Amino acid sequence: MEFNFNIADIFNQPIVEINRDLIPPGFRGDRRTLWNTVNKVSEVVNAIGEASAAAQGLPKPITSSERLKNSEHKLYLLIDQHANAGKGAVTGMLRTGAKGLYVFDKEGQHYQVSPPCILDFYIHESSQRKGLGRQLFQHMLHKEQVDPGKMAIDRPSEKLIRFLNKHYGLNSPMKQMNNYVVYEGFFPKKQTQS
Protein backbone atom coordinates (compact mmCIF):
# COMPACT_ATOMS: atom_id res chain seq x y z
CA MET A 1 0.00 0.00 0.00
CA GLU A 2 1.61 3.20 -1.22
CA PHE A 3 1.06 6.80 -0.14
CA ASN A 4 1.89 10.14 -1.69
CA PHE A 5 4.35 10.86 1.13
CA ASN A 6 7.53 9.09 2.15
CA ILE A 7 6.68 6.08 4.33
CA ALA A 8 10.34 5.12 4.79
CA ASP A 9 11.03 8.52 6.39
CA ILE A 10 8.25 8.09 8.96
CA PHE A 11 8.73 4.41 9.76
CA ASN A 12 12.41 3.60 9.97
CA GLN A 13 12.12 -0.09 10.89
CA PRO A 14 10.62 -3.11 9.05
CA ILE A 15 8.01 -3.54 11.81
CA VAL A 16 6.81 -0.60 13.88
CA GLU A 17 4.48 -0.49 16.85
CA ILE A 18 1.94 2.33 17.07
CA ASN A 19 -0.32 3.07 19.99
CA ARG A 20 -2.88 5.69 20.97
CA ASP A 21 -0.48 8.64 20.58
CA LEU A 22 0.11 7.79 16.87
CA ILE A 23 3.77 8.78 17.19
CA PRO A 24 6.11 6.51 15.22
CA PRO A 25 8.99 4.96 17.18
CA GLY A 26 12.20 7.00 17.03
CA PHE A 27 10.39 10.23 16.09
CA ARG A 28 12.55 13.34 16.34
CA GLY A 29 11.39 16.82 15.45
CA ASP A 30 9.66 19.98 16.59
CA ARG A 31 5.95 20.42 17.35
CA ARG A 32 5.03 21.28 13.79
CA THR A 33 6.79 18.19 12.42
CA LEU A 34 5.11 16.10 15.12
CA TRP A 35 1.65 17.33 14.11
CA ASN A 36 2.42 16.66 10.46
CA THR A 37 3.76 13.18 11.21
CA VAL A 38 0.78 12.21 13.40
CA ASN A 39 -1.55 13.25 10.55
CA LYS A 40 0.33 11.00 8.15
CA VAL A 41 0.31 8.07 10.59
CA SER A 42 -3.41 8.64 11.01
CA GLU A 43 -3.88 8.46 7.22
CA VAL A 44 -1.88 5.21 7.08
CA VAL A 45 -3.90 3.62 9.91
CA ASN A 46 -7.20 4.58 8.29
CA ALA A 47 -6.15 3.34 4.85
CA ILE A 48 -4.88 -0.03 6.08
CA GLY A 49 -7.97 -0.38 8.30
CA GLU A 50 -10.20 0.13 5.27
CA ALA A 51 -8.21 -2.35 3.18
CA SER A 52 -8.45 -4.95 5.94
CA ALA A 53 -12.21 -4.49 6.24
CA ALA A 54 -12.62 -4.84 2.47
CA ALA A 55 -10.50 -8.03 2.49
CA GLN A 56 -12.70 -9.51 5.22
CA GLY A 57 -15.98 -8.35 3.67
CA LEU A 58 -16.80 -6.17 6.68
CA PRO A 59 -19.26 -3.31 6.14
CA LYS A 60 -16.94 -0.79 7.82
CA PRO A 61 -13.39 -0.68 9.18
CA ILE A 62 -12.73 -2.03 12.65
CA THR A 63 -9.31 -0.36 12.76
CA SER A 64 -9.06 3.42 12.50
CA SER A 65 -6.91 6.16 14.00
CA GLU A 66 -9.89 7.38 16.03
CA ARG A 67 -10.48 3.95 17.55
CA LEU A 68 -6.79 3.50 18.26
CA LYS A 69 -6.66 6.88 20.04
CA ASN A 70 -9.45 5.74 22.35
CA SER A 71 -7.92 2.39 23.25
CA GLU A 72 -4.94 0.67 24.84
CA HIS A 73 -4.45 -1.40 21.70
CA LYS A 74 -1.22 -1.94 19.84
CA LEU A 75 -0.97 -1.72 16.10
CA TYR A 76 2.00 -3.37 14.41
CA LEU A 77 2.70 -2.15 10.88
CA LEU A 78 4.81 -4.10 8.42
CA ILE A 79 6.88 -1.75 6.29
CA ASP A 80 8.66 -2.38 3.00
CA GLN A 81 11.18 0.45 3.11
CA HIS A 82 12.49 -0.17 -0.41
CA ALA A 83 9.18 -0.27 -2.30
CA ASN A 84 7.77 2.60 -4.37
CA ALA A 85 11.20 3.79 -5.58
CA GLY A 86 12.51 4.13 -2.02
CA LYS A 87 9.47 5.99 -0.67
CA GLY A 88 8.37 2.80 1.06
CA ALA A 89 5.04 1.01 1.38
CA VAL A 90 2.91 -0.46 4.14
CA THR A 91 2.50 -4.19 3.58
CA GLY A 92 0.40 -5.29 6.53
CA MET A 93 -0.94 -4.71 10.01
CA LEU A 94 -1.81 -6.56 13.18
CA ARG A 95 -3.82 -5.04 16.02
CA THR A 96 -3.86 -6.58 19.48
CA GLY A 97 -5.34 -5.66 22.84
CA ALA A 98 -6.88 -7.09 25.99
CA LYS A 99 -10.66 -7.55 26.12
CA GLY A 100 -12.96 -8.56 28.93
CA LEU A 101 -14.72 -11.74 27.75
CA TYR A 102 -16.92 -14.57 28.93
CA VAL A 103 -15.75 -17.81 27.34
CA PHE A 104 -16.92 -21.39 27.60
CA ASP A 105 -14.78 -24.51 27.49
CA LYS A 106 -15.86 -27.79 25.88
CA GLU A 107 -17.57 -28.95 29.07
CA GLY A 108 -19.64 -25.77 29.14
CA GLN A 109 -17.82 -24.29 32.14
CA HIS A 110 -17.58 -20.53 31.81
CA TYR A 111 -14.71 -18.21 32.60
CA GLN A 112 -14.56 -14.45 32.93
CA VAL A 113 -11.18 -13.44 31.52
CA SER A 114 -9.27 -10.50 29.99
CA PRO A 115 -6.96 -12.26 27.54
CA PRO A 116 -4.70 -10.70 24.93
CA CYS A 117 -6.66 -10.74 21.68
CA ILE A 118 -6.03 -10.69 17.95
CA LEU A 119 -8.37 -7.94 16.84
CA ASP A 120 -7.43 -7.25 13.21
CA PHE A 121 -4.81 -8.81 10.94
CA TYR A 122 -4.16 -8.04 7.31
CA ILE A 123 -1.44 -8.51 4.70
CA HIS A 124 -1.79 -6.65 1.41
CA GLU A 125 -3.23 -8.82 -1.37
CA SER A 126 -0.03 -8.57 -3.44
CA SER A 127 2.01 -10.07 -0.59
CA GLN A 128 -0.18 -12.77 0.95
CA ARG A 129 1.08 -16.36 1.29
CA LYS A 130 4.72 -15.29 1.19
CA GLY A 131 5.45 -15.66 4.90
CA LEU A 132 4.95 -11.98 5.78
CA GLY A 133 1.94 -12.67 8.00
CA ARG A 134 4.01 -15.12 10.00
CA GLN A 135 6.87 -12.63 10.27
CA LEU A 136 4.52 -9.98 11.67
CA PHE A 137 2.76 -12.42 14.00
CA GLN A 138 6.07 -13.78 15.33
CA HIS A 139 7.25 -10.24 16.07
CA MET A 140 4.07 -9.58 18.04
CA LEU A 141 4.38 -12.84 20.02
CA HIS A 142 7.95 -11.97 20.92
CA LYS A 143 7.12 -8.38 21.92
CA GLU A 144 4.07 -9.38 23.97
CA GLN A 145 5.64 -12.59 25.33
CA VAL A 146 2.46 -14.49 24.74
CA ASP A 147 1.65 -18.02 23.60
CA PRO A 148 -0.69 -17.97 20.54
CA GLY A 149 -2.90 -20.62 22.20
CA LYS A 150 -3.54 -18.21 25.09
CA MET A 151 -4.94 -15.54 22.81
CA ALA A 152 -8.60 -14.99 21.85
CA ILE A 153 -9.33 -14.12 18.24
CA ASP A 154 -12.12 -11.78 17.18
CA ARG A 155 -14.15 -13.27 14.31
CA PRO A 156 -11.25 -15.06 12.59
CA SER A 157 -11.53 -15.54 8.85
CA GLU A 158 -11.01 -18.96 7.30
CA LYS A 159 -7.58 -17.77 6.13
CA LEU A 160 -6.58 -16.88 9.70
CA ILE A 161 -7.89 -20.21 11.04
CA ARG A 162 -5.69 -21.97 8.48
CA PHE A 163 -2.76 -19.67 9.24
CA LEU A 164 -2.93 -20.50 12.97
CA ASN A 165 -3.19 -24.19 12.21
CA LYS A 166 -0.27 -24.17 9.81
CA HIS A 167 2.19 -22.08 11.80
CA TYR A 168 1.16 -22.76 15.40
CA GLY A 169 -0.53 -26.16 15.23
CA LEU A 170 -3.77 -24.75 16.63
CA ASN A 171 -6.77 -26.90 15.77
CA SER A 172 -10.42 -27.41 16.76
CA PRO A 173 -11.30 -23.72 17.14
CA MET A 174 -13.99 -23.15 19.79
CA LYS A 175 -16.33 -20.46 18.58
CA GLN A 176 -17.85 -18.44 21.40
CA MET A 177 -21.21 -16.67 21.53
CA ASN A 178 -19.41 -13.31 21.30
CA ASN A 179 -17.83 -14.47 18.00
CA TYR A 180 -14.37 -14.78 19.51
CA VAL A 181 -12.52 -18.03 18.97
CA VAL A 182 -10.25 -19.75 21.48
CA TYR A 183 -8.34 -23.02 21.39
CA GLU A 184 -8.01 -25.91 23.80
CA GLY A 185 -4.85 -24.63 25.53
CA PHE A 186 -6.58 -21.35 26.35
CA PHE A 187 -8.20 -22.77 29.48
CA PRO A 188 -6.39 -23.57 32.70
CA LYS A 189 -5.63 -27.28 33.08
CA LYS A 190 -8.19 -28.98 35.30
CA GLN A 191 -6.85 -30.76 38.40
CA THR A 192 -7.43 -34.50 38.15
CA GLN A 193 -8.54 -36.12 41.40
CA SER A 194 -6.34 -38.98 42.61
Q: 37 or 118: whose CB is closer to ligand ACO?
A: 118
Shortest distance (Å) from residue 134 CB to ligand ACO: 3
Shortest distance (Å) from residue 89 CB to ligand ACO: 15
Question: Applying CB under 6 A, which residues contact ligand ACO?
Answer: 55-56, 118, 120-123, 128-134, 153-157, 159-160, 162-163, 166
Shortest distance (Å) from residue 63 CB to ligand ACO: 9
C-beta neighbour count of 146 within 10 angstroms: 14
Torsion from C-alpha of 35, 41, 46, 47, nearest 10 degrees: 130
Q: 47 or 55: whose CB is closer to ligand ACO?
A: 55
CA angle 173, 16, 129 (to 5 degrees): 45
Shortest distance (Å) from residue 26 CB to ligand ACO: 25
By DSSP bridging, strand 74-80 and strand 15-18 are antiparallel
The residue at minimum Cβ distance from ligand ACO is 133
